[in-house]
């Protein structure tokens, strides 16, 4: 839609085939550290992700809802691996990173220096959803990372399979049918941990709030499969 940070850069031919899996927002802090809400990072040394990344755009929007911005925190703009290293060395107090669990750099951090993840309240998640409707409530199960034994509630952005509206309906119909094929199911279940999260039941979870249309070829398949009326 070319709004906000992306003013003047719309992508009118974008169409959705399926919501795939949630990419969770991680607020990583040193082992034993807890905060009450995002406002507590004010005045801290915080990595807000790399410049130009969608993560940084979203994080700054979220923090603004709690009155935190570049003026009242000491921000850094680092990659995930750099962030983990600097947190371990005590050079930063916290960092944000959006990714699907388990994240390799975080697995290493948790098993060496240790870490904690901030779990938001349902009220906080609703507040974030008002600011960024595309983010959905998600959960990082306890035990994914060593020392993080309880479930972590967090907002997530949906990873999606998208196509150009210029593609033929027949081709996208075939792509959608292949995605939900039994053989594909086996590959997903035996691949990355998030593969099991890719299911027809959640195929429309993140798309509704975006205002991006479902591709006509995908819609045809979902209707034939009884997943859409």
Tokens of 84: 């983990």
| Element at 223 (helix H, strand E) | helix 216-224
pLDDT of residue 205: 77
Strand pairing category for 94-99 and 14-30: antiparallel
pLDDT of residue 8: 93
pLDDT of residue 70: 97
Distance between CA atoms of 29 and 93, rounded to whole angstroms? 6
Per-residue pLDDT of the chain (229 residues; tens, 9 = 90+): 888 778 999 999 999 999 999 899 999 999 999 999 999 999 999 999 999 898 999 999 999 999 999 999 999 999 989 999 999 999 999 999 999 899 999 999 999 999 999 999 999 999 998 888 888 889 999 999 999 999 999 999 889 999 999 999 999 999 999 999 999 999 999 988 889 989 998 898 777 778 899 999 999 999 999 999 8
- What's the DSSP call for residue 102? S
Distance between CA atoms of 97 and 33, rounded to whole angstroms? 17
């Amino acid at each position: 839609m070319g709004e906000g940070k992306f003013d003047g850069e719309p992508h009118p031919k974008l169409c959705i085939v399926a919501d795939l899996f949630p990419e969770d927002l991680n607020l990583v802090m040193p082992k034993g550290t807890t905060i009450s809400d995002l406002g507590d990072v004010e005045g801290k040394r915080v990595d807000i992700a790399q410049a130009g990344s969608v993560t940084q755009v979203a994080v700054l929007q979220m923090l603004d809802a709690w009155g935190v911005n570049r003026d009242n925190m000491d921000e850094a703009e680092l990659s995930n691996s750099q962030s983990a290293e600097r947190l371990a060395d005590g050079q930063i107090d916290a960092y944000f990173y959006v990714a699907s669990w388990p994240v390799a750099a975080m697995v290493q951090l948790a098993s060496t220096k240790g870490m904690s993840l901030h779990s938001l309240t349902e009220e906080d998640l609703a507040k974030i959803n008002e600011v960024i409707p595309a983010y959905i409530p998600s959960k990082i199960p306890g035990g994914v990372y060593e020392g993080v034994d309880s479930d972590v509630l967090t907002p997530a952005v949906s990873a999606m399979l998208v196509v150009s509206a210029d593609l033929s309906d027949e081709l996208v119909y075939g792509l959608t049918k292949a995605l939900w094929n039994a053989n594909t199911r086996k590959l997903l279940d035996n691949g990355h941990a998030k593969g099991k999260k890719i299911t027809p039941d959640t195929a429309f979870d993140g798309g509704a709030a975006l205002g991006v249309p479902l591709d006509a070829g995908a819609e045809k398949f979902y209707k034939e499969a009884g997943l859409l009326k």
